[in-house]
Structure 1
Amino acid sequence: MNDDSSAGAALRKRLYWHSRRGMWELDLLLIPFLEQRYDDLGESDQAAYRDLITEEDQDLFAWLMRREWPEEPTRRRIVQMIVEHAETTDNDHYRTL
């Protein structure tokens, strides 16, 4: 295993654990997005995701439940990507939220 792959694996583990919020509704949105879409994002969108998961749970909940949208355009874009991913994948749990 080279340094790049171990650094990448460490980042991925960190992202996974920071994406696990302990709030069922957030976990249902963040974990599948990380697992299914994150690797295909451009660097700026990956950075936006990494930045997003540093936010407080109550803010994430309001945004991801579409109760309000972030004012900052980059943050709004990644939130919309996560919501759209949940709506377009076979996510029965999301439909009940």
Structure 2
Amino acid sequence: MSESFEAKRLARLKWACRRGMLELDVLLLPFVEQAFEQLSYEEQVTFERLLTSDDPDLFAWFMGHQKCEDAVLAAMVDKVLNTIKIR
């Protein structure tokens, strides 16, 4: 992919990580900045799909109040938590 496309993609992802809930912002934005480019293409697509989830669901999954029913998204939640080292 072109450098310009990747820069735009990262900018779009950073914007999508601004959720309006500090608890989510401090997980998602650092993950994009630190780890997104090292993910496989499939993991990148999964992370982008994760960002389409509703904030209350994301909050419940990341805080451990609920387990995500989608195993692929649940694995991405774990990856984000393990990468950012917040539990």
Fold conserved between structures, TM > 0.5: yes
**Count of residue pairs the alignment pairs up:** 87
Structure 2 length normalisation: TM-score? 0.93
Distance 2:41 2:3 in 1: 17
Per-residue CA distance 1:22-80 (angstroms, 9 max, x = gap): 11000010011111111111111111100000111000000011111211111011001
Distance 1:86 1:12 in 2: 18
Task: Point out where structure 2 has 5 or more consecutive residues left out of the alignment.
Answer: none
Q: Which has the larger radius of gyration?
A: 1
Identity, % of aligned positions: 37
Q: Which runs of 4+ in 1 moved over 6 A?
A: none
Alignment of 1:7-26 (within 5 A): 7-26=5-24
Distance 1:69 1:45 in 2: 19
**How well do the aligned residues superpose, as a CA RMSD in angstroms?**
1.4
Structure 1 length normalisation: TM-score? 0.84
Task: Point out where structure 1 has 5 or more consecutive residues left out of the alignment.
Answer: 88-93
What's the counterpart of residue 54 of structure 2? 56
